[in-house]
Structure 1
Amino acid sequence: MSGETDLIKLYSGRILELAADIPRLGRLDAPSATVKRRSPLCGSTITVDITAEDGCVTDYAQDVKACALGQAAASVVGGNIIGCSFDEVRAARDALHAMLKEDGPTPPAPFDGLEVLRPAASYKNRHASICLSLDAAVEALEQIAQTA
C-alpha cells in the first residue's frame, strides 16, 4: 500500500467529524492565562484562553488554525476540559505524547476520545499539530499555578 493511500486512510470519518465540530471556539473576555502555540513543521497554530479556580478549569476557549488532525485533537480537548484538574490535563498531555511516540496507552478519560488519533503515530510530522491544544492548555495552567 502506498504512503499516500495510508495518509488518506488516516483522515477517517470520525477525525473529519471532530474537525468539523470543534467546541469552545473563540476567545474568553477575561482569561486567567492565554497561550499561543505553533507547530514549526506545518504552521498549525492554536491560542487557548483558560480560567481556573481551586485547581480546576472553569472556562476554556480556543482559536484553532490547524490541519484536520490538530482540529480533531482540539475538538476532543475543548469538549472535555471544563471541570478537569490541572493534574488531569497534564496526564492527558503526557499520555497523548506517549501514545504517539511510544505506542503508549490511550489518554485517560475524559480525554480518551484522542484514541482516534492513534493511527497518526506513524506520521511524526503530524505529532506537533495533534499535541498543540494540550501543550498550550498545560502551559496556560502552569502560568495560573505560578500566580496562585
Structure 2
Amino acid sequence: MTAETDLIKLYSTRILALAADIPGTERLESPGATVKKRSPLCGSTVTVDLTMQDGRVAAFGQDVKACALGQAAASVVGSAIVGCTPHQITEARDALRAMLKHDGPTPPAPFQELEVLRPAQAYKNRHASIMLALEASAEAAEQAQQQQSA
C-alpha cells in the first residue's frame, strides 16, 4: 500500500463526517470546570467546559481547533459524554491511548465509536490531537467533581 492510499484510508468518510458535525460546540456560561489542552506537535487545541450533577456530567461544551482526526474524536466525546461518570471518562481516555499505541481494545461504551480512529495507530504524530478531547474532559470532570465535594 502506498502512503497516499494509507492516508485515504485514514481519512475515511466516517471520520470526515464526524469532524464536520461536532456536538457540544457551545461553551458553557457557568461551567463547573474548564480545561484547555494543546498538542505541542501540531498545535491542535481543545477547550472543554463541563458541569457535574450527582457524580455525572450534566452539561458539556467544547471549543475544538484540531485536525480532522482530533475533530472526529471530539465529535464522539461530545455525543457520548453527558451522563458519564469521571471514571467512565478516564477509562475511555486510557483505552483510547492503549488502542492507538498498543492496538488495545476499543474504548468501552458509550465511547465505542472511537474505534473509527483505529487506522491512526500508524500515525504517531496524530495521537496527541486525537487524545485532546478525552484528556481535557477527564481532567475537567475530576476538577468539577472535586469542586462539588468541597
| TM tier relative to shorter chain | over 0.9
For residues 46-89 of structure 1, give each alpha carbon's deviation from its aligned partner in whole angstroms, at most 9, with x where no partner exists: 10000001210000000000000000000000001000111111
Shift of 1:146: 2.6
| Aligned mates of 2:39, 2:5 — CA distance in 1 | 24
* Structure 2: distance between partners of 1:79 and 1:143: 21
Q: Secondary structure at the match of 1:130?
A: helix
Q: What is the rounded CA distance, in whole Å, between the counterparts of 2:56 and 2:13 in structure 1?
A: 32
Give the aligned partner of residue 54 of structure 2.
Answer: 54
Task: Name the counterpart of 1:72.
Answer: 72
Percent identity reads 69
User: What's the counterpart of residue 117 of structure 2?
Assistant: 117
CA distance in 2 between counterparts of 1:145 and 1:28 reads: 16
Aligned mates of 2:97, 2:110 — CA distance in 1: 16
Distance 1:43 1:4 in 2: 23
Please tell me whether the aligned partners of residues 31 and 50 of structure 2 are also in contact (alpha carbons under 8 angstroms).
Answer: yes
In the alignment, the residues of structure 2 paired with residue 6 and residue 118 of structure 1 have an alpha-carbon distance, to the nearest angstrom, of: 13
Following TM superposition, the consecutive aligned residue runs of length 4 or more in structure 1 with deviations greater than 6 angstroms are none
- Inter-partner Cα distance in structure 1 for 2:136 and 2:21: 20
Gaps of 5+ in 2: none
Three-state SS of the structure 2 residue aligned to 1:140 is helix
Normalised to the residue count of structure 2, the TM-score between the two structures is 0.96
**Which runs of 5 or more structure 1 residues have no equivalent in the other structure?**
none
Matched to 2:39, the amino acid is S
Post-superposition offset of 1:4:
3.1
Helix, strand or coil at the partner of 1:42: coil
Measured after TM superposition, the shift of residue 100 of structure 1 is 0.3
Alpha carbon RMSD of aligned pairs, Å? Answer: 0.9
- Provide TM-score, normalisation by structure 1: 0.97
Q: What is the rounded CA distance, in whole Å, between the counterparts of 2:39 and 2:64 in structure 1?
A: 12
| Maintained 8 Å contact 2:24/2:61 | yes
1:83 maps to amino acid: G
Once the two structures are superposed, the pairs formed by residues 89-100 of structure 1 within 5 Å of their partners are: 89-100=89-100
Q: Specify the alignment match of 1:4 in structure 2.
A: 4
